[in-house]
Amino acid sequence: MANGRTSAASAAADRFLASLDAEEEAARERYERRQRSHAAAPHLLVSGATGYGKSTLLRGLVASLPLGWAWRVLVIDPKRVEFERFRHELEVVGLDGLVGMSQRLEKEVAYRRERLRAEGIDHWLDLAPRVVPVRPALLVVDEAVDVLAGSGLPRADAAAVRETLGVVLRQGRATGVHVVAAFTRPDTDVIPGALRYQFAARVGLGPLSPDSHRMLFGTTPDGADRLAMPGMGAALGLDGTTTVRRFRCAPATVEDVRARFRA
C-alpha cells in the first residue's frame, strides 16, 4: 500500500514538474516572440483624426508596460493636455522643454551605442548577462507635427530637434529606444518620407480616405475607410507581419496608467 501511495505521489510530482517546464517554455516562447516583434517593428506611427482614439491608444501603450526599473518612458506633449497629469510619474515635457529632452535623448543613444561597441555587439538584446542591463526606453510623441515643425522654436533649435528624432528612429532598433508618434494626418508634407520609412508598425484610426490609406500602408483600402467608430481602424506590423489587419484599441483611462505605478 505504501509503495502504491509513493508511486502515485511520485507520478503526481512528475506531472507537476512537467507542467512547470511546459509553462516555462511557453513563457520563453512568448518573450522571444515579443522581442522578435520589437526588433522587426521598433517604432509605431499612429494616425487619426481628433476624437478617434489616438490619446487612448497612447495611454494604453504606456499602461501595458512594466514601468519603474523595467521601462523608461519619455513623453513630448506639445499641448500639455493628455500627459501633463502624469508629469510626476513619467518624464513629460511640452514644447518649452523640447530642446532639453532632445539633447538628453541624443546623449542617451550615444551612450548606448558606445556600450554596444565596447561589447563588440550590434543589438542591445545581445548584451551578456554580466553586463549591467540596458533599460528599454519608450519615447511617446503626441501631436508630432508640432514637434517636427518646431513650433515656437528658433530655426536652429527646430532643425536640431528633427535631426535628433531622426537619429533616435534610425538607431533606436539597436540601442533599445522605441518611438511612438501620433499624427492627425499621414500626408507626405506632414511626415517626411525619410522618417515615415522608419516606422515599420503603423495604425490608422477612424475613417481613412483611399489616399491616406495608401500613404499609411502602401495598399488599396479594403473597408478601412468605413471604420468610423472611435478606437477602430487598421494596423500594419504590430504582429511582426506585413499584413494590414483590422484594429481596435483597448480603452485605457488615466487611472489605468496611474495604477501601473502603484502595482
CATH for 245: 3.40.50.300
- 109 with 64, same domain: the answer is yes
Taking only the tens place, the pLDDT of each residue in 116-174 is: 898 888 888 887 766 666 788 999 998 888 888 877 788 888 889 889 999 999 998 88
> Is residue 213 a contact partner of residue 219, using CB atoms and an 8 Å limit?
yes
Number of domains observed in the structure of the chain: 2
Taking only the tens place, the pLDDT of each residue in 44-72 is: 999 888 888 888 888 888 877 776 667 88
- 48 with 36, same domain: the answer is no
> Is residue 76 a contact partner of residue 98, using CB atoms and an 8 Å limit?
yes
- 183 with 91, same domain: the answer is yes
- 66 with 96, same domain: the answer is yes
- 10 with 62, same domain: the answer is no
Among the listed residues 45, 111, 33, 46, the one whose alpha carbon sits nearest the alpha carbon of residue 72: 111
- 52 with 104, same domain: the answer is yes
Q: Provide the domain limits for residue 14.
A: 1-40
Taking only the tens place, the pLDDT of each residue in 27-46 is: 455 445 445 445 566 899 99
- 168 with 183, same domain: the answer is yes
